[in-house]
Amino acid sequence: MNYLKAAFLFLFISSNALAQRVCVYDFNKGLQELTGACPPLRALGREGFFTDEFLPEIDVKRAVYIFEKNSGVQFDNSTGRMLDKGNYTIEMYFKFDSLQNWKRVIDFKNGNTDNGCYILNGKLNFYNYAVGDKAPVRKGEYVHYVFARDAQSSGIKMYVDGKSKIEFPDKYNEALLNDDNVLNFFQDDQRVPREASPGAVALIKIYDRVLDPKLIKENFDRLKTEIETIAKTTTQTPPTNLALPTVAVVPPKPEPKKEVVIAPVPAVVLPKPEPKKEIVVAPVPAVVLPKPEPKKEVVIAPVPAVVPSKPEPKKEVVIAPVPAVVLPKPEPKKEAIKTPAPAAVAKAKPQYYLQGQLVNTATKQSVMNATVLVMDSNMVEIQQVKVADGRFRLPVLLNCEYNLVIDAMGFFSMATAISRAKTVEYASRDNIFRLQPVEIGRSIVLKTIRFKQSKNEFLAGSNDELDKLVGYLREYARVEIELHGHTDNQDDFQLNLDLSRQRAELIKTYLTENGIAPYRIVCKGFGGTRPVASNAREETRQFNRRVEMIIRKN
C-alpha cells in the first residue's frame, strides 16, 4: 500500500510538471524542492534548523523547519516562474509561537511595503484591505493556510483548515510580485517593530493555478496522508520505484555476479606493488632532506654572527632610541588597529560616541536615575546603561541603525529611532532628550499615533506608541486618563466632531483589548476646533488629526 501511495504521488507530481505545475517543499530534504523541478528556498534573516517534530493536529511525526523571529524563507520566482501570470495558489502548514498584534505570513514586495498577508491577533488579515471576523489561528498550533489569486477577476481568497475565510478584489495588484520577483515567508520589513513571530513550517506548496475550493477542502482532509506519503517518497528515488516490477524480474541476480567477478581483479593485481613503491619512496626524502637542511642553517647562522655582528647591533641601537623617543604612543596605536579585523571597526569604536543629556520638559532640569536601553534594527538589546546624573555617553558604529528607549520614574518612556544616515549627525553633537513628566492635568500628545484623513483608522507605525501606552498603564495601575480626539477642519463640522470622538474610542478599544480596565479611560471629541498646525496643506493637516492624553488621577 505504501508503494502504491508513493507511485501515485510521483505520477501526480510528474503529470502536473507537464501541464499544471506545483512546487512542493516538505523539508525532509532541507530547503530543496521535492521533485527538483523548482528552485530551493533561501533562508531569510538568521538561518533556522531542521528537526523531527510530532504534529498533534494530524498525528504525524515529520521534518519541520524552525525559524527565529523576523526570519523565514524566500521563493525565487525568477527561476521558479510560478507566479508570472498572477494566477496561483499558495498552500502552507505552519505555526507561530506568538500572535500578539500583527505577524507577517507572506510578503509579495520583498520588504518594500507593509501590505501583504498577516495574522492579526489570531485573525486572518491582508493589510490594508481585508480582515477576518473570526480567530481561526491559535498560538503554538499548526494551521492549514491557503492563499489564492485569480488573474482574470483579480480576486483573492484566503482559507484556513479548508474553509474560506476572506474574499476581496486585488484592485491595486498588491498580491503581485514587484521587480525583485521573490516571495518572502514569515519575515517582516521592520518598518514597524514586533510584526514577526518565531515558529515552524512543515509544508509549502506553490501552484501555478487557482485551486478549486472543493480541492482545497480535500487537501486539508487528507493532509495527514499526504504528509506521510511525501515524507516516505523523499527517502526513495521515484523513477526507480515505478520501474521496480520490470527491473526486479529480469536482471537483479546477474548484475551482482558481474560485480563480484570484477571486484577481485583489481584487488589481486594492485594492492601489493603500490605499498612497496610507497615504502621505497618514503625513506628517500627522509634520509636526504632532513640532515642537509639543518647543516645549511647551522653554517649560515654563524656567518652573520661572526662577521657583521658588531656593526649591525650598533645600527640597531642607533635606530632604536629614535622611535622610542619620538613615536612611543603612535606605535602601540598602530598595533591596536592591526590586531582586530576589519580595521575600520576598530577605528570606529573609540572615535564615535552617542552622548546627550536627559531634560525634564517642565522644569528644564536634568532627569536623574534614568535607564537608557540601546537596541539594534531588529529590536534586539545591545546594552543597557544606568544614568545617574542626567548625562550619558555610548560608543556607536557608523552606518548602523539604533533604537533608544529612555525610562525614568515619574516620566513617560521616550523612544528614539536613529537611522543609518542619522548616526553621524547624532554622534557629532551633544544631544538633548526631553522627557515628559507624569502630572495630573497635563496634556500629552500621542505623537506617533496617526490617523488616515476622514477615517477612523490608524496609519502604519501607530502600534509602537499604543504598546508603550499599554505598558505605562499596566505599570501605574492607579492612573486614570482622558483621551481627547482632534481632527483637521476638512469636511463637515459635525462629522469631524463625531470622528474625533471615534478616534479616541479606537485607542480605548486597543487599550481594553490589552487588559486595561475601561473605567480608567474617558474619551472626548473636539473635532477641528483646536488645531496645532496649519490646515492649508496635507503635510501639516496630519498633525491636527491627533489624540491627546490627560492624566486625571495619579
Cα gap 299→420, rounded to integer Å? 61
Q: Say if residues 203 and 41 touch (Cβ distance below 8 Å).
A: no
Q: Is residue 50 scored above 70 in pLDDT?
A: yes
Q: Specify the range with the lowest mean pLDDT, choosing from 185-189, 419-423, 443-447.
A: 443-447
Among 274, 295, 328, which residue terminates a domain? 328
For 301, 307, 311, the CA distances from 297, given in Å and listed in that order, are 6, 16, 22
Whether residues 116 and 210 fall in one domain: yes
Residue 452 belongs to some domain of the structure: yes
Claim to verify: residue 323 and residue 186 sit in the same structural domain: no
Distance CA 207, CA 151 (A): 13
Q: Look up cell 500572535; give the residue.
A: 99
Of 416, 435, 454, which residue constitutes the final position of a domain? Answer: 435
State how far the Cα of 12 lies from the Cα of 482, in Å rounded to an integer. 63
N residues, the chain: 554
Its domain, for residue 217, covers 17-234
Domain match, 417 and 377 both: yes
Identify whether residues 103 and 120 lie together within a single domain.
Answer: yes
- Is 288 domain-assigned? yes
Nearest in space to 13 (alpha carbons), one of 31, 33, 29, 35:
35
Are 430 and 450 found together in one domain?
Answer: no
Using pLDDT thresholds of 50, 70 and 90, give the confidence band for residue 192.
low
Nearest to 203 by CA among 175, 176, 180, 234: 234
Measure the CA–CA gap between 130 and 113, rounded to whole angstroms. Answer: 16
Is residue 517, in this structure, part of any structural domain at all?
Answer: yes
Kindly report the CATH number assigned to the domain that includes residue 536: 3.30.1330.60
Determine the pLDDT at residue 267: 42
Examine the domain organization and report whether 512 and 376 are in the same domain: no
Strand order across the 430-435 sheet: 391-395, 353-360, 430-435
pLDDT at 261 (0 to 100) = 40
pLDDT of residue 444: 79
Looking at the predicted structure, is the pLDDT value of residue 53 above 50? Answer: yes
Yes or no: say if 97 and 197 are a contact pair by the CB < 8 Å rule: yes
Stretch 342-367: mean pLDDT, rounded? 71
- Domain annotation covers residue 463: yes
| DSSP secondary structure letters along 332-380 | HHHHHHHSSSSHHHHHHHHH-EEEEEEEETTT-PBPPSEEEEEE-TT--
Query: Could you tell me if 399 and 469 lie in one domain?
Result: no
- For residues 419 and 299, membership in a common domain is answered with no
Report which of residues 456 and 12 the model is more confident about: 456
Cβ–Cβ < 8 Å for 551, 466: no
Q: What is the number of other CB atoms lying within 10 angstroms of the CB of residue 437?
A: 16
User: What is the C-alpha end-to-end distance of the chain, expressed in Å?
Assistant: 72
Please say which residue of 297, 328, 359 terminates a domain: 328
Domain count across the chain: 4
Question: For the segment 298-334, what is each residue's pLDDT rounded down to a tens digit?
Answer: 344 443 444 444 444 444 444 444 444 444 454 544 4
- Would the pTM of this model clear 0.75, i.e. be above it? no
- The top-scoring range by mean pLDDT among 60-69, 227-236, 302-311, 473-482 is 60-69
Domain identity same for 147 and 214: yes
Q: Are residue 228 and residue 287 in the same domain, yes or no? A: no
